[in-house]
Amino acid sequence: MFWRQRSPTFLSLWPLLFLIIRLAVHAQNISTSGPVPPLQWINITGLTTGSAPPALRDASIGYFEGTRTLLIFGGESAQGIPQSQTFLLNLDSLSWSQNSPPNGLNSAPPARSAAISGDDTAASYRTGHIVIGGLGNNGEALSDVWEFDYNGQFWSQVQLSPGGPSARYGAVGGKDPRTPTVTSSDSSTPNNSFYLAGGISGKTVNPLSDVWQLNVTGTLSSNNPTAVEASWMQILGYRSGTPSKVGAAGAVVSSTVAGTQDIISFGGCTSSDDTTPSESCASSEAYMIRTDQDVIGSSNTCPVPRIGATVVPNTNGDSSDFNNQVFVVFGLYNHSLWSDEGGLEKGEVDVLNVETGVWDRVLPAGDPGTDGTNPPAYPSPRQGAVGLSWSLALAGSSRSSASDSIFFGGVDTNGNYLNEVWILRAYNAQLTQTNQSWSNSSGQLAGGVSADGQGVTVQFMTQCANPLSPQATQTPTDPGGASPTSSTTPTSTPTYAYDTSVVHKALSPISLALVFPAVIGSRLSMASVTSMQPPGHVVLGVSSILVAVAAYALGVAGLATSFTSITSPFSSMSLGKRSSQLSLALKTGHGTAGLALFIVFYGVLPLLFAFATCYQRSSHRHTDHNREETTSNGDDSRPRLNSTETGEKEALYKGRAASPLRYSDTPVDKPRARTRSWAHLSHLGMPGRRSSESTHDTAVAPTPAHHSFEVVNRPARTRRASGNSLAAFSDPRRPGSPRNLGDTSWFDGRRSMSAVGELNYPLNELSHRPDPSTPGTTILDMTSTSGLMPAAGPTTPEMPRSLDIFLHVLFHASLLALCILSLIQLRSRAPRAAFVVFLIGTALFYTALFALSWSGKPRYSVLTALLARLRGHPTHTGYTPGNITPSRPLSATGSEIPFPTEQRSPYQHYPPYRAASTVPDEYPPTIGHAVNEVNDDDEEDEDTRQRRIEEEMSRRDVSIVTVPRRKLFLTNPELDRG
């Protein structure tokens, strides 16, 4: 039965489980939070003088800060011919020139393009520029290494040790200019390392996993032009599953995590053969090769897929976040397959965080010209441009206020070769999507090499590039395939920097989803304002506990799998050694927040609830023990005064006659006739009742069981004066049977004189004629207590204890935070349907909470009490018997017996009894007729007292109005009389 009732809950979770299991682990994502520096494009082509280089693509670019010289070497001209010329641009004077080597040092590298290059600065030992391999004349790949000396303006071929990679071009790599030199124990001069990954060797495209490191050492000067040495070392070898790229762009970035350098590769086409890349086969993921961990990872696919892009590191030092960023600019894409919302035409810069694999798409400010009057200009889309970054401004007077990236050449979408020089200036500030203002953002936009950032703002793009058709993206071609081809795959497979198994992604939200019915079921099983024990509360309570235990177990399992299955940012393609999983657990904000919330929700809260439960039980046991001691010692504090159970009331007053219902073996021959006057009590042999009997002292001797009847636990109430003071004691109706001889008709005796004597007949008639009993006071009627019980009115919501309030608020705050965290992750990583299902479930859960609290379920709840206050309902109860919880369930036997309907008062033979109360009276007494009490030390005899009472009663009319406010117990000791 229990499982049948739970089955709808579990069936409702199957859609969410199915969607999460099918979740796309590498779902597309875009980050628009930044930070990024304020960016501005500046065109300095028209500001330069001298003999500028021709229009080129895939040239080599370098920079030396000591002479403020920008170097352009080689490249492919518009005629498709590799070049061997060297051009130098002085960035102080913005004048072009060609190198002038010393006599005897006129040798130069063979013409080439698409080579790997970087600057080699090692104090006074070397101030040069390294060129590695490339595409030479006749289409052959090169493997030689040359270095250009900035001071002497000559070229020198580097002496290579045996071994090394095959000749290749089109590889990705180089060196980050921020990387310091390293002094080796086996060399007297500092070393610099350059990296090479992938590339084309003849007709073969090497995979990106084929990574080599070139260590350069020695001295270079005009006096010692041939003392530079280098050796190759293979870091990674061929690994299956890694792509081979043509037309990709790359750079090297210093890693702030391991202190080494990471190789970044972006875009291009996946192919195993040497082919001309095409925009239709381009991809948009970036591959990150961590050289010290032997692993490769990939980013998501947010930017538009392109070929021939340019990648440079973000060297701005205003934020530590910039150290892990690269700028991706330029490139060409297929306009019929993709839409980038006009980004590249507006100078779009894609910012990649190499540690997280997340993108930002931003549109920088343009160049309005030196006078600032022209419309802002942007570089046109192009492929084959080369660039580098520096930590200061490369041109202009305010060099310390910004960092520059400079770009040269390329081929535009129309096939035109370019020799333009553009600067992407990053000002020293941080911008995010929510905070796009900085100190110079106001004012008119300024341009030129001396631009200081006035009026510079950036625009964050909120969407990734959109495919225009299902064939817009590519699936990597099998290594044995002939060429890259289009595919019907909707998107290429993106990868997150840190990833976990699908078990963690499924168990965590399912655990929260199970908490929802557990909370709702527990609230339904609690007491409400309308019912202390709701129907089915036991089943609901047990079911809620079992579901909560299942949710707890799944939550713990979900956390455990997050630690055991997490992979490093670069472990999507295993290449050997992997990072420690525990060291990666808290790399992201999601991991840190999730662990903190797990500790609170699954660790601290259960312990606090257990402590609160134990504390409450201990407090109750201590209270019960004190009550037992109070009762056994005969204390006058009346510990059970507020109880509504008749058995408890009877036990407190042992000197009183028991109920005829419990002592049914008492012989009952004839009921004693009742009289109307209080004075008759003394004449019938009943002693006057003293005030000392109103207490429950166990030392008092038991009273003989011949009283009329008593109200055992009448609550204190206010007595008000009545206009008819004798209405309650002088019965205006003719009694149903004679009360005394005066009421007997002597004519009745004459009708049957033959049977009895004349005098004996009225006496017998007086004693045998039964008096109609008050309904509800006979043995039969006493099986019902409902006649004297007022209907329990509806209770009101109440605030829990302070400890419970704290625990409930902490529980719901933690649960809400976990739901928000899960929704964020489902929104970014899961299919939209999974996100919608969980969002709807969360909304239904909180709607149900408010609906139950609005209807008063449960009674002891912060939300229920607050809603009641908002509606104007009281949130506390007065001291009324109906609100007191009985020690055991009340009997419903004889509930059909009504309250006595006779107008004659049932309290004619004895004054109403009211026990002394130690609880503050709900109805404080007012000025009126008090009940006269007899003290033990009263010297007045009984006859005098009775006459005084008779006289007093004859002078007054007393109306007794009984408003039953709590359960009453009546005894009829008159049945014990003979």
Domains and CATH numbers, the chain: 39-460 (2.120.10.80), 499-570+583-611+797-871 (no CATH)
Distance CA 635, CA 151 (A): 108
What is the pLDDT at residue 276?
Answer: 80
Q: pTM here?
A: 0.54
Per-residue pLDDT, averaged over 677-682, amounts to 41
- How much of the chain, in percent, has pLDDT values that exceed 90? 33
Residue 193, pLDDT score = 93
Chain segment 892-911, per-residue pLDDT in tens: 444 444 445 544 444 444 45
Tens digits of per-residue pLDDT, 818-873?
Answer: 899 888 888 777 778 888 888 998 999 889 888 888 888 887 888 888 888 887 76
Q: List % helix, strand, coil for the chain (3-state, nearest 5).
A: 25, 20, 55
DSSP class of 574: E
* 294 vs 439 pLDDT, higher one: 439
Instruction: Compute the distance between CA of residue 63 and CA of residue 128 in angstroms, rounded to an integer.
Output: 9
pLDDT for the residue numbered 867:
84
Tens digits of per-residue pLDDT, 937-973?
Answer: 456 788 888 888 888 877 776 566 666 666 655 556 5
Question: For 153, which DSSP code?
Answer: T
Task: State residue 742's pLDDT score.
Answer: 53
When mean pLDDT is compared over 95-104, 272-281, 519-528, the highest value belongs to: 95-104
Q: Which two tokens stand for residue 914?
A: 């009211």
Residue 709 vs residue 214, higher pLDDT? 214
Residue 89 confidence (pLDDT): 97
Per-residue pLDDT for 673 more than 80? Answer: no
- Ranked by mean pLDDT, the top range of 445-454, 548-557, 560-569 is 445-454
Task: Please answer whether residues 293 and 212 qualify as being in contact, where contact means their C-beta atoms are separated by less than 8 angstroms.
Answer: no
The lowest-confidence range among 181-185, 533-537, 733-737 is 733-737
Higher pLDDT, 336 or 146: 146
Encode 783-798: b = buried (16+ Cβ within 10 Å), e = exposed. Answer: ebbbbbbbeeeebbbb
Q: How much is the average pLDDT of 528-552? A: 83
Q: Phi-psi category of 807—alpha, beta or left, where left has phi over 0 and alpha has psi -120 to 50? A: alpha
* pLDDT higher at 771 or 605: 605
Mean pLDDT value across residues 617-621: 70
The residue that leads in pLDDT, 486 or 76, is 76
Residue 188 confidence class, pLDDT cut points 50, 70, 90 = confident
> What pLDDT is recorded for position 457?
92
Q: What is the pLDDT of residues 913-942, one digit of tens each?
A: 444 444 444 444 444 444 444 454 456 788
The pLDDT of residue 61 is: 97
What is the overall mean pLDDT for the chain? 74
Mean pLDDT to the nearest integer, 540-565 = 84
**Residue partners of 743: CB distance under 8 A and separation at least 6:** 735
Asked if 283 and 293 touch (Cβ cutoff 8 Å), the reply is no
Among residues 165, 455, 475, 467, the alpha carbon closest in space to that of 337 is found at 467
Overall average pLDDT of the 680-697 stretch: 42
pLDDT for res 960:
66
